[in-house]
């Protein structure tokens, strides 16, 4: 097990909720788990810190990031800002090939909906939506924010099943995108994101 592999594995564990927000990540434990020394573990933890999935306090070790309600609300606000902007930009620039790619990704995500690992298909659809914006750094920032959300969703919201509504949202966004209607697409997407926010925040009330 090399450092990047360890980072990838831990990242998957965090996003799937197998390691929950707030949990301490001790170097020796992880070293024993992966059968390596602490050095590559330290590297992996730093890489995860770069992705804002864990926070390392010098001298006090690493913990999985755990956001408060306010912080999560801010993250969703930023997602709305960045994702709607990316979608507007992409919609006005999209060619026929982009429309096809989006439609294909949407159908693919439909098939995976509800099944374990559906998040990958969901992200593939959104990534296809934003691809035509040609703003790779913006997409990377969006992905980071989404990961932060999914981490908490996986921890607190294992049983949610709004898939019908999600599919309808995707349908509407996709249609507006292919029609070149940036305003409609952005408006639908904003509602989509705000719905996700409300679902998580109400569940967090417990």
Residues that bind DNA (CB under 7 A): 2-3, 24-28, 36-40, 42-43, 56, 58-62
Report how far residue 25's alpha carbon sits from residue 52's, in angstroms, rounded to the nearest whole number. Answer: 14
- Which does residue 38 bind out of its own copies, DNA, none, counting CB within 5 to 8 angstroms by kind? DNA
Which of 129/145 has CB closer to its own copies?
Answer: 145
CA torsion angle for 78, 204, 144, 97 (degrees, to 10)? -80
Task: With beta carbons less than 8 A apart as the criterion, state whether 90 and 130 touch.
Answer: yes
> Which residues would be at the binding site for its own copies (CB under 8 A)?
2-4, 39, 42-43, 46-47, 49-50, 58, 71, 74-75, 77-78, 81-82, 85, 135-138, 141
Which of 58/116 has CB closer to its own copies?
Answer: 58
Three-point CA angle 164, 89, 94, nearest 5°: 80
Which of 23/77 has CB closer to its own copies?
Answer: 77
Number of H helices, E strands in the chain: 9, 3
Task: With beta carbons less than 8 A apart as the criterion, state whether 155 and 21 touch.
Answer: yes
- Which does residue 82 bind out of its own copies, DNA, none, counting CB within 5 to 8 angstroms by kind? its own copies
Which of 32/179 has CB closer to DNA?
Answer: 32
């Amino acid at each position: 097990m090399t450092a990047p592999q360890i980072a990838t594995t831990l990242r998957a564990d965090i996003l799937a909720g197998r390691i929950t927000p707030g949990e301490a990540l001790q170097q020796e434990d992880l070293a024993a788990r992966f059968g390596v020394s602490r050095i590559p573990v330290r590297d992996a933890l730093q890489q995860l810190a770069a992705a804002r999935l864990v926070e390392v306090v010098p001298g006090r070790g690493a913990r999985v990031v755990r956001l408060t309600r306010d912080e999560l609300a801010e993250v969703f606000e930023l997602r709305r800002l960045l994702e709607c902007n990316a979608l507007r930009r992409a919609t006005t620039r999209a060619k026929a090939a982009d429309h096809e790619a989006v439609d294909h990704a949407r159908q693919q995500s439909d098939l995976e909906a509800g099944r374990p690992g559906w998040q990958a298909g969901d992200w593939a659809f959104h990534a296809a939506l934003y691809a035509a914006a040609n703003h790779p750094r913006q997409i990377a920032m969006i992905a980071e924010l989404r990961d932060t959300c999914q981490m908490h969703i996986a921890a607190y919201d294992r049983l949610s099943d709004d898939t019908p509504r999600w599919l309808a949202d995707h349908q509407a966004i996709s249609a507006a995108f292919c029609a070149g209607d940036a305003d409609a697409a952005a408006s639908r997407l904003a509602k989509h994101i705000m719905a996700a926010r409300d679902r998580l925040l109400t569940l967090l009330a417990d």
